[in-house]
Structure 1
Amino acid sequence: MKFSIPFLYYFITRINSIPKKVSWSIVNVFPILWICAMISDISAFLLLILYFFGLCAMMSIYEVGYLENDIITTKNEKNPTKRLDDYSHNFLEKNYSKIILLKYTITLLIFILFIVIMVSANIQLYIYQFIFSLLILRVIYLIHNKIRNKFNILTFLGLVIFKHYSIILLFIPFNQSLSLLLLLFILFCGQRLIEYGSKKRFGLNIHIGNLDVFRVYYFLVCLVGYVLYFVFKKGSIQIYELLVDDLFFPLALYLFIFRLLLLLAGRVFGVVQANE
């Protein structure tokens, strides 16, 4: 069944245009890949393979949450967002259990593949951490789909964090990953959390205006914050050394430049901002 293939359901229902797919890759795929390359001594070619399959395993679990939301949760909503045509929706509803089982099977097979690669290539992977983080991701999505109130802001934050953090935990022990967790929170979760919290249904009166402008300002603030930290920091703070000196600034600059170019393209060529 095609909907059991990792990424396919996400590409069809959430980022269903080429600009959105490109934007998603630039913002979500390449930065995390670069982080993994920086923290791992695995060869580039093998790292790419492991990263790709790690993404497939994570997305298989994440898409279970999407399917659960679109097929089950929406039945209890007054005005649900319709993401599928009637034929596809009926097909998924009829074959829901089979598709979910296939997705879990794909993830299990990827775990087995990781074990084979780890043994045959004599490399260190933290597979149990990765499995546990995906279990957490699944539990958070279950809660997220059951609840429809302001608590969704917290569950959304958990989803965004573990969506990225799970991949990183495949390559680095947990006790060395806390500075990276802070980096993820600032650069990949903060912006998304503010945007999600600004939804009218939460009633928080958060007004961010134009998304492209807000995103440019957000990463500009991150860069200014880095400069201030670098100028005024006292002594050696080892837990933040990797975060600030080696990863934070180039990633913040990368995301700022991309957001700025996207804003300028919108102003000059009328390009519509692409949600990721």
Structure 2
Amino acid sequence: MKLYIPFSYLLLTRIKTKHERISWFIIYPAFLIIATLLFNGDLLNFMLTFCMTMSLYEIGYLDNDFRTVKKEKNPTVRADEQRSWIEHNLQYLIGIRLLIALLVVFYIIPSIDFIQKSIFIFLLCLLAFGFYFHNTLRSRWNVLTYFIVVLCRYLIPVVVAVKSEFYGYLIPFIIIAFPLVRTIEHACKEKYELRRIKLLVRNPDNFRVKWYAGITLLLLIFIVFYENEIVFRLVLLSVYFLLYRMMTFYFARSKNILRNKHSSYKWDENEK
């Protein structure tokens, strides 16, 4: 019964360990909450839309785990112990999440301006489009569909919570701060055979530190010349990510372990 609750399927199949859950919280909800506060956003709208976004995301996970895997040669089978029950109640698990999403949409729409509404609806459609093709295609196109679904996951809650006057700064920053860098890492999976990208990344922990250090440096240079208060807020967000990535890099090195042991990546060959 607990799988009817939003986030339950995510916790069961995607972020199962304590380390994974802490990391997920830091790089996703905590980051977006800080962004919402720095840009004077509506926290209630954020929390509601965040729950809605994850409900839709879980539908994508369920679709992948119970439809897509049937067409794969070597599928990743998740939720082994509860798989039979989930498959029997799949339509209800999806239905309750759709209902939650619809209720949030009907509540949110009257409280946001025209630009927010337009981008919000566009992103919802883009998320549905992205997840359908991400779970249907099995090719290098999945790098693009992965970028689309991660981009929507990060932007939807912020677009609803933060006024549209900040979009020109905040939206490009968020895209660069996580969806783009995460997609570059995703493209390193062995199945895509994108060797040049793997050579660019080589060590994911080191790559992330360099990425956020570069973003922070560019923003600081911009502030020196233009003294823009909005950009200063972006610096704070960039430093937040930089400090976290430096910490994970330190722990990975001090314990002499790799950040990602998943067989899809095989970082060992690229860290020498």
**1:166 is matched with which residue?**
156
Q: CA–CA distance in 2 between the matches of 1:230 and 1:127?
A: 31
**1:177 is matched with which residue?**
167
**1:12 is matched with which residue?**
12
8 A contact 2:41–2:161 mirrored in 1: no
Counterpart selection for 2:208 from 215, 218, 222: 215
1:108 aligns with 2:102: yes
For the residue of structure 2 that corresponds to 1:89, the secondary structure is: helix
8 A contact 1:13–1:84 mirrored in 2: yes
1:138 aligns with 2:133: no
Deviation at residue 172 of structure 1 after TM alignment: 3.7
**What is the percentage of aligned positions where both structures have the same residue?**
28
**1:261 is matched with which residue?**
247
For the residue of structure 1 that corresponds to 2:67, the secondary structure is: helix
**2:46 is matched with which residue?**
51
| AA of the residue aligned to 2:191 | R
1:262–1:152: structure 2 CA closer, same or farther, 3 Å change rule? Answer: same
Q: Pairwise CA RMSD of aligned residues?
A: 2.7
Deviation at residue 268 of structure 1 after TM alignment: 2.9
Q: CA–CA distance in 2 between the matches of 1:201 and 1:177?
A: 35
Structure 1 length as normaliser, TM-score?
0.82
**2:82 is matched with which residue?**
88
1:147–1:242: structure 2 CA closer, same or farther, 3 Å change rule? Answer: farther
Deviation at residue 89 of structure 1 after TM alignment: 1.6
For the residue of structure 1 that corresponds to 2:160, the secondary structure is: coil
CA deviation string 1:165-190 (max 9, x = no partner): 11111124557523322101211122
Which of the pair has the greater relative contact order for Cα pairs under 8 Å at 6+ separation?
1
**2:66 is matched with which residue?**
71
CA deviation string 1:98-124 (max 9, x = no partner): 2111110111223345479x5xxxx87
Deviates more, 1:71-80 or 1:101-110: 101-110
For the residue of structure 2 that corresponds to 1:169, the secondary structure is: helix
Q: CA–CA distance in 1 between the matches of 2:222 and 2:5?
A: 44
Unaligned runs of 5+ in 2: 262-272
Q: CA–CA distance in 1 between the matches of 2:183 and 2:152?
A: 14
Number of residues of Structure 1 aligned to a counterpart in Structure 2 = 257
1:242–1:228: structure 2 CA closer, same or farther, 3 Å change rule? Answer: closer
Q: CA–CA distance in 2 between the matches of 1:10 and 1:225?
A: 35
Unaligned runs of 5+ in 1: none
For the residue of structure 1 that corresponds to 2:74, the secondary structure is: coil
1:40 aligns with 2:40: yes
1:229–1:251: structure 2 CA closer, same or farther, 3 Å change rule? Answer: same
Deviation at residue 209 of structure 1 after TM alignment: 2.9
